[in-house]
Amino acid sequence: MDDNALTFILNYAFSINVGFTLTDELSPDSPSFSLPQSKRVFVNMNWQNKKELPFIAAHELGHVLNGDNTQKLLYYTTSATRIKIENEANKTGIDLLLKFCESADLMYDNYLTFMDDFGVPKTLTTLVKKRLTEWLLQNMD
């Protein structure tokens, strides 16, 4: 796990008045979650793959930043709407990790290395390629 990336995500959240609860009291298969209406994120630090924690934190913060209604998401939306909301949280999470890279003067030109370093799931390969390419084009000097 990249502790610097996780710290950056936590500090960014605090700077915009979003609270984080980091807990190791959950089982390794209990997912992290957010309550966007309350501006709160809960991260399971006991998660089965610790390397994924920076992306998980960024993804959950993404739900808050996107103003998602997670209670409505669970009970009152179609699977297509749920997928769209999750995809937007993934996009925001990746963008937050890229913001960390900017702040730390890290340059990634390989999407697989980026994904591995921040624990981004392989199912998001296409999205990471797109966001990283856009980021690289914006940051070319």
- Yes or no: domain 3-136 corresponds to CATH 2.60.40: no
Residue 35, classed as helix, strand or coil, is strand
pTM of the model: 0.91
For residue 79, the model assigns a pLDDT of 80
**What pLDDT shows up at residue 73?**
57
More confident residue, 109 or 58: 58
* Domain boundaries of the chain, sorted by first residue: 3-136
Are 78 and 86 within 8 A, CB to CB? no
Q: Does pLDDT of 53 surpass 80?
A: yes
Predicted confidence at residue 138, as pLDDT, reads 86
Report the alpha-carbon distance of residue 63 to residue 99 in Å, rounded: 17
- Contact at 8 Å (CB) between 42 and 59? no
Considering only CA atoms, which of 6, 103, 92, 11 is closest in space to residue 51?
A: 6
Burial of 9 (0-12, 13-18, 19+ CB in 10 A): buried
Sequence-ordered list of residues with C-beta below 8 angstroms from that of 44, at least 6 positions apart, any chain: 23, 24, 26, 28, 30, 31, 32, 56
Question: pLDDT tens, 57-105?
Answer: 999 999 999 998 766 655 666 788 788 889 999 999 999 999 999 999 9
Say what the pLDDT of residue 82 is. Answer: 82
